[in-house]
Chain A
């Protein structure tokens, strides 16, 4: 029988320690890289994609969505693209999403990173794919470079929009410079805009004056503490709400008493 000498035990423990040391070293480099690519927020995902953080957790990078796309809109991020490698994305200025009604890219996803339910509507209790429910991004207009806001007639984005008159509408206002013409400005409506990018693709300026941003970047959020008092639906959010009163040293007395208090005089 082999007896374990202290030296052998030391050697064993040291070899484990060495492995842990090397792993820690590797983890440092590896996690730094992963942290960087994960933080790339300027990326537009296919229709039905989960939120970015969930999306890159789930996506297995198989490219089935890319193969299903008939317009070659979707690309798998290549090394050097500085995006999470292997994940699908699109660049609307080059090739926008043409919003196929049968959404071939979504049902093929094996991992659930593209969620079919998020682009499904119910017609007479029957589930049908509905590309108009997609939220790939949000069109944002840079008024400074949009020639329509200069007073030049252009409605390229408005005409290109597949949800014509819904996602982009034209706002009329008087052109005071000439006194007899009108500004016809494009206005994007975030609830309807799918982020397909056909507007960005169609824009006539050198760098598109209307461009798609990821919704998380383009949109703010009001939070729960504002309610539209003039809107019956919104008012309903108050039902069942409770009031929480905090007492501080100052608010112990009523405001008037507090003001009249002359500090014991």
Chain B
């Protein structure tokens, strides 16, 4: 059970949030109304997707006070505390891409398939492009194609043909590239990487306990962030870390745990 602690907690969070949103539309619950683009907590506190608000801002729209305030609250929360936790604790696509990644590992696709080359910085290019296009075309362009909002809206308000987009992401992650969508393409994830770069909650690696079994690297959706494994004791500081806690779950030696950001590091051999 200990090996699945954070995974189960994450699924619980993701599903509870979905249930609250769906309940708001079907049964009129007031706890969490709207969707991930913009919500209202208890009918009072606004929460908005900072990336969507950014796209709307560059179109030259007049920007309602609620979405500005909502985006500020969300940015502050992830920026100061949560890091990129949105991607692994809230986003509904995470369940799809995690499943695809798990299936890939079980079916050993990565061992057989020649690696399809994609650059991790692709998502930042897409992020930049989306802002330029939004400004030029006068509409938030990623919001018109976003499979994240599509999935979330779909579950709350009716899916339409949106299921197709989700199937494509699943198959892309399963057959083309491990963690292809979240780790390479998604500009919302890129935004959250930038927002969460300096947050306080970080995974801490204790190199002294590490036996170099590499289980953490196998399960990590953003393997680059674990560059210190078995090398030095330090916090996982890269903004791309989603704070999913899978590495903490699978580590049998307690060499990884959540802690408050630490700025020091210590090479392993100095212990």
Pairing of A with B = yes
Residues of A at the B interface (CB closer than 8 Å) are 19, 22-23, 26-27, 30-31, 33-35, 37-38, 53-54, 56-58, 60-64, 66-67, 75-76, 78-81, 84-86, 108-113
Closest residue of chain B to A19 (Cβ to Cβ) is B125
Interface membership of B156, Cβ < 8 A: yes
B63 with A111: CB separation less than 8 A: yes
The minimal Cβ–Cβ distance linking A256 to chain B, given in whole angstroms, is 54
The 4 A-B residue pairs with the shortest CB-CB distance in the complex, in nearest-first order: A78-B160, A80-B161, A110-B66, A112-B64
Option from B61, B133, B153 in Cβ contact (under 8 Å) with A61: B153
In whole angstroms, what is the CA distance A61 to B49 when docked? 11
A110 with B40: CB separation less than 8 A: yes
| Contact residues of B between 56 and 114, Cβ < 8 Å to A | 56, 59-67, 70
B137 with A111: CB separation less than 8 A: no
Residues of B at the A interface (CB closer than 8 Å) are 24-25, 28, 33-35, 37-40, 46, 48-49, 52-53, 56, 59-67, 70, 121, 125-126, 128-129, 132-133, 136-141, 143-145, 149-150, 153-154, 156-162, 164-165
Closest residue of chain B to A77 (Cβ to Cβ) is B160
A63 with B61: CB separation less than 8 A: no
In whole angstroms, what is the CA distance A24 to B153 when docked? 30
Closest residue of chain B to A35 (Cβ to Cβ) is B137
B67 with A60: CB separation less than 8 A: yes
- The residue in A37, A62, A64, A85 that gathers the most chain B C-beta atoms within 10 A of its C-beta is A62
A26 with B129: CB separation less than 8 A: yes
The minimal Cβ–Cβ distance linking B252 to chain A, given in whole angstroms, is 40
- The contact sample of 15 A-B pairs, CB cut-off 8 A, is A22-B125, A26-B129, A34-B137, A38-B139, A60-B67, A62-B38, A63-B35, A66-B157, A67-B24, A67-B33, A76-B157, A78-B154, A79-B154, A86-B37, A111-B61
Task: Tell whether A112 pairs with B63 under 8 Å between CB atoms, given A63-B156, A66-B25.
Answer: yes
Name the B residues within 8 Å of A75 (CB-CB). Answer: 157-158
- The residue in B24, B129, B132, B139 that gathers the most chain A C-beta atoms within 10 A of its C-beta is B139
Name the A residues within 8 Å of B153 (CB-CB). Answer: 61, 63, 76, 78, 86
